[in-house]
Structure 1
Amino acid sequence: MNLKHEHNKLFQVLEFVTSLVQLNVVFLLSILPLITLFPALYALNAVTRQWAVNQDYSVFRAYFRFFNEGVRRHYKLGAVWTLFLLILLIDFLLIRQIDAWQTMLFTGLFVIGFVFIALSLFLFPILTHYEMKTMDALKLALFSIMRYGYIIVLALLLFTALGMLAYRSPLYLLFGFSFIVFLTTKLYLHQLDRTITSQHIDI
């Protein structure tokens, strides 16, 4: 009986790791045209959220269903988000060509970029987990930056560790990114649900 239980646990671990690799690959392929980054991130978060909530480790059909959902339901937000990201990247490139005030401009742009990334870290799980208006989702994401700053720190540490590991062996990239998104999404939604329940907030 114990042996059968151990076999089941091993099978679940292997299934999870395989799903991580599949999700990572399909995500990387779907962002080759950079304009699809928003729906790809939406789908990535939606699939990892499905894993965390339902322990359903399906990938391909779920990913493309959520990808289309991200395009269909959030096309306006996706367009604004993508445009803002492109402007940030262009500004970073332009500042490198400027001699005067470069440090000040770079610092200001770095702060804006950090807030944008932190906001996105919370925004995508919110969009996939709750039914709410875009402005309400943005407000909740801003609130989460102040309330759950430790999740941002955790994500930064994990992505830094992934970068260091990938420098030694790119194979870590096959599952590392999707695993970090799964971990932070699961932790964040768990904490957010507890906050909403304890404070009797209607979503």
Structure 2
Amino acid sequence: MALRSVAVFCGSSFGHDPAYADAARLTGRTLAERGIDVVYGGGHVGLMGVVADAAIQAGGRVIGVIPSALDDRELAHHGLTELHVVDSMHARKLMMAELSDAFIALPGGAGTLEEIAEQWTWAQLSIHAKPSGFLDVLGFWAPMRQLVTQMVETGFVQPEQSRIVSFSDDLDELLRMLQLPPSWTDKWGHDPGEVLSP
């Protein structure tokens, strides 16, 4: 499937290693150069701002979605193609999901993990049929990959649903994975497609 838009979840901090910002810059630029809209959390700080600025500089479309509480704290990026100010974090994630064909997690903290995990959950429940990917910069997501394996081995995630998420340290490879047709079944063994409301 062709990707028209990808949501990027990432830290509002930079992290200690410059490689994290380099990966964010590469992600924003690559998506823009391929004509893929960048959907993200709307902030100008940390890796979020790096992704947005790189995509804008490469001539891409960047769509931000930010809760009003964060906009009020002057964290919003006001140089975007579109900026949507919503009422809550829940509304933010719902709109980002609706606007995106797939999801990528760069390094980040609790918010990044929560956002990508929710999209994985929604795909398991057939709320949508969209894949998620982890860009494993410097092994950042290696513990998450191990955790997914443990979830399968202990019977809390079916092997088919583990295929909703992909891991790679190479952005090109990850984007190829995200463009593959859904190969999983939902929690009840049904093919993705019968989408429920979130």
TM-score, with length taken from structure 2: 0.27
Bigger strand fraction? 2
TM-score, with length taken from structure 1: 0.27
Q: Which has the larger radius of gyration?
A: 1
